[in-house]
Structure 1
Amino acid sequence: MRFRLWPKSLIGQLVFAVAVMLFVAQAVNFALLARGMKQQMLAHGGGMTVARIIDAVDRYERGLIEPQRQRGDPRERRRQRREPRVWTGDAAPPVPPGASAMPELSDYVATLLGDANVDARDVKAWVLPQRPRFGRTELPGRTAIVVAEVGGRYYAVRGRLPASGNRLQGFLVWQTLVLYLLLLIPIMIIAWRAAAPLRDLTRAARSNPAVRDAIPIDEEGPSDVRDLIRAFNAYRARIATMLADKDRMLGAVGHDLRTPLASLRVRVEGVEDDRLRDKMIASIDEMTAMLTDILALARTGAGNEVQERIELSALVCELAEDYVEQGKNVAVDNVVQAAVVARPMLLRRALRNLIDNGVTYGSRARLSVRLVADQAQVVVADDGPGLTDEQIRALVEPFARGEQSRNRATGGAGLGLSIAREIAAGEGGALSLANGAQGGLEAVIALPIA
């Protein structure tokens, strides 16, 4: 699975951006504080070391350097515990065991000695490791030894450096955690307050626009989000008004057209020429059927039918039995148990349109129900020669027919697939067409599982 660092949601992006920026700011703060503490440590330890070197050089020139006592002398050990040790000799002292070089301290001491007009050469510094004493470590800080050659003589000073930045690191960690709590929690609350209405707005925008009784979304969240929701509610209200006006207009058109067609058919019945009368009646019936299909397509999604839980296996078997009773070659192949939530009459109409196409253009239709991921698919397959990819893409458009590559038998007005597509979309699903693996065309209505 591909890892995605940048989150998709508004809350995730805000929290992630603030967390990263806060971490960068704390890292810069830590670097500056660590540098300042390092300069402070060098100034404290290096300054004391330079002062003792200058004092030792002055005392040596005046002959006031005390002789070194033996290391085993108790008085010497007590004196070493009370104050740093100053050593002088003609040769450089050996490097203490376990000591590590500290070039930044040696450079700092050499600079200070140069500023004090002391001609110091070969300045070196070491740091001694911590040693346990009486069951505990030494006092906070580290022991440093600085050796400098002044006037052909070596002077070694032993002193203490301030403690390292471990406490500073712990302080910054706790400070960062506190800042995260103080900043991220309010940002998450603000982002959630803005994202929750946006999620409701997204769900409403994805719903079927033909639903007339859609409840307006509550105007919540920040002012700009409330303005957006208010504009969406007004926009959806205008759409509902336009759809209602369209339904009234179509009703009037259907009534005004059906009435003269019915009157015309009554008059045609009086034509004496049987052949001419049959052709005229067939033309009137074709016009009536086309008008019915056009009105059905225009009104798809409208109406007051309530969605119900539908068992697709029972619905498919019932439809197949109805067609068998009419003497049509319709059968059920493979059916699995699956339930969807849809409007029964509209779903039946969509499936009947697909079955009629299969029987008309492929001489037979085979029905099946299958589960794919979180969708239930109703498949209507025929045994026709199939269609090209271009014809498949155009076939679901109104008044489009695929008769050029299929059976030349007379079909409808080319609205059956368009009506089925609109019904499937209105129920939260989709209609797709594809050539079958064994030939023929497969029409699939995919709906979310209940």
Structure 2
Amino acid sequence: MQFAITFRGPPPRPAPVPIAEIARVLRGESGHAGNWRRLDVTDSANPPIGGPRQQPNPMLDGQIAVALGVPRSDVAGLYDEPTFFETSEVRGDFTVGWHGPKGWRVARSMRPPPFTHWHVFTLIAALLTLLALAVPAWFIAQRISRPIRDLAAAAKRARLGVPEPMPGGGPREVRELAQAIEAMQGRILHQAQGRSAMLAAIAHDLGTPLSRIAFWVEQLPEAARERASADIDEMREMLGATVRFVRDDRAGAAHTRLDLGSLIESLADDLGTAGTPVEVATGPRAVVRGDPSALRRLFANLIENAVRYGERARIRWSLEPGWVEAVINDDGPGFDPARTEALFSPFVRGESSRNRATGGTGLGLAIVRSIAEAHGGQVTLENRAEGGGRVRVRLPAE
């Protein structure tokens, strides 16, 4: 735009019309003898009526009357640009009438076209300038934003217990941010390792007293012995589940390509052989990248939960653009919508919304979500319209 104004000048203004040209047109002479604006001539029985901004100017009326060779009273004009001194031309819009033998002859200045060559040139120059600036601006923006996107992707891949190297390229500020995130990740990893070691030590140390208690329990009467043994088994199960949860939360096994459908069918066969009521609806080939052991544990937990709370489990899978979705249905009481998110927290059990007669450590869904998120997936809980609960597991497809 600045280039156009610099080399082409400001927007064109209408050229002034010489008074001699106005007089010539009013006399009825044909032809256009200059590069000024054309005039529209009409005959009327009444004096001319100008536009809202046009005002009389006796000085210009007198000069036009002289050019016509008629008395001043025979000329009536209206002009939108005032003139306070004698001039040989009229600027701006105007309406001039001459009262001749046949009535009034009125000449009006014609408005110039709204879209001139100057506007065309300026528009083309602006578009070319925009195009010339947009391409390098896009590359500059990509160069600036790419390190930030890489850093965000690395932060998303980071998991507790698994160090994720941060990208080191980009501007100085991005490099400093990456170093700060890497240092923070190291501190969190150190704390997580300490926590895991502490929990493992607690589980190990508690195992010995539990074994001694189990030995002494054998000397109790049969009824009391059975109740005490059940409590000891529950404590051992809780300790084992806690250790498994910590292990899964920080596990860093390599991910490989695998057929999720085959994994689910194999797991269902194993559970079915052990007496677990599970039904599988075979779906399309679904390839994902993940840890086979962790994914088996994920679906085993969901199937066991479905059987525990809903008597049986039905599982199917399907493909969506970029995703594999596995659905596990049960015939239980469903989920309390107000507590679906809380059920994924460690040691939160679902008895308040499901069957109180069932047990569990409250770590099953926490382990499921931990494994799913480690694979870039999601887990959601729903209630089926026909009754029962539904769990959706979405994993990125290969």
Q: Is 1:211–1:301's contact at 8 Å kept on the other side of the alignment?
A: yes
1:116 CA drift (Å): 7.9
Number of the residue aligned with 1:204: 154
* Partner SS, residue 264 of structure 2: helix
Give 1:33's aligned residue.
10
Give the alignment of 1:91-130 within 5 angstroms. Answer: 92-94=26-28, 100-101=39-40, 113=60, 121-123=75-77
Q: 1:251 aligns with which of 163, 177, 200?
A: 200
* Contact 1:209 1:236 (C-alpha < 8 Å) held by counterparts: no
CA distance in 2, matches of 1:416, 1:156: 95
**Distance of 1:295 and 1:115 partners within structure 2:** 108
What are the equivalent positions in structure 2 for 1:188-337 lying under 5 Å apart? 188-210=138-160, 212-221=162-171, 223-265=172-214, 267-268=215-216, 271=219, 273-337=221-285
CA pair 434-28 structure 1, distance change in 2 beyond 3 A: farther
Q: How many angstroms apart in 2 are the aligned matches of 1:32 and 1:109?
A: 32
Match of 1:447 in 2: 395
Aligned to 1:353: 301
Q: 2:379 aligns with which of 411, 431, 435?
A: 431
Q: CA deviation at 1:303?
A: 2.0
Equivalent residue for 1:179, pick from 126, 129, 133: 129
Q: Check 1:85–1:269 CA distance in 2 against 1; reply closer, same or farther (3 A cut).
A: closer
Q: State the alpha-carbon separation in 1 of the partners of residues 391 and 114 from structure 2.
A: 75
Distance in 2 (alpha carbons) for counterparts of 1:296 and 1:281: 22
How far has the Cα of 1:290 moved from its partner?
Answer: 0.3
Structure 2 contact 314–328 (Cα < 8 Å) conserved: yes
Which of these residues, 333, 346, 349, is aligned with residue 401 of structure 1?
A: 349
Residue 416 of structure 1 and its aligned partner are, at CA, apart by 1.0
CA contact (8 A) 2:261 2:317 kept: yes
CA contact (8 A) 2:256 2:290 kept: yes
Q: Is the 8 A contact 1:290 1:413 kept in 2?
A: yes
Pairwise CA distance, 1:195: 0.9
Supply the AA of the counterpart residue of 1:33: P
Task: Give unpaired runs (5+ residues) of structure 1.
Answer: 1-21, 54-83, 126-145
Q: Give the Cα–Cα distance (whole angstroms) in 2 for the partners of residues 86 and 114 of structure 1.
A: 11
1:87–1:156: 8 Å Cα contact kept in structure 2? Answer: no
What residue number does 1:368 align with? 316
Counterpart amino acid of residue 260 in structure 1:
P
C-alpha change, 1:430 and 1:147, in structure 2 (3 Å) is closer
Separation of aligned partners in 1, 2:355 and 2:174? 55
Kept after mapping to 1: 8 A contact 2:255/2:291: yes
Partner Cα distance (2:382, 2:130) in 1: 54
Note closer, same or farther for the CA distance 1:31–1:417 as it changes in structure 2 (3 Å cut): farther
Amino acid aligned to 2:263: L
| Residue aligned with 1:301, SS | helix
The residue type equivalent to 2:343 in the other structure is: L
Offset of residue 405 of structure 1: 4.9
Per the TM alignment, residue 322 of structure 1 is displaced from its structure 2 partner at its CA by 1.0
In the comparison of the two structures, how many residue pairs are matched?
A: 358
Deviation at 1:29, TM superposition (A): 9.2
User: Is the 1:194–1:225 Cα contact (8 Å) retained in structure 2?
Assistant: no
- Secondary structure of the 1:292 match is helix
Give the Cα separation in 1 of the matches to 2:96 and 2:28: 10
CA contact (8 A) 1:268 1:280 kept: no
Equivalent-residue separation in structure 2 for 1:205 and 1:232 (angstroms):
8
Q: Equivalent residue of 2:76, what SS?
A: strand
Whole-angstrom CA distance in 1 between matches of 2:349 and 2:201: 28
* Shift, 1:124, TM fit: 8.8
- Aligned partners of 2:154 and 2:165 also within 8 Å: no
Q: 1:96 to 1:370 in 2, by over 3 A?
A: same
Tell me the SS of whatever aligns to 1:173: helix
Q: 1:165 to 1:307 in 2, by over 3 A?
A: closer
Q: 1:167 to 1:366 in 2, by over 3 A?
A: closer
- The percentage of counterpart residues that share the same residue type is 31
Report if aligned partners of 2:23, 2:64 keep a CA contact under 8 Å in 1: no
- Structure 2 gap ranges (5+): 33-37, 42-49, 67-71, 80-94
| 1:318 to partner: Cα distance | 1.0
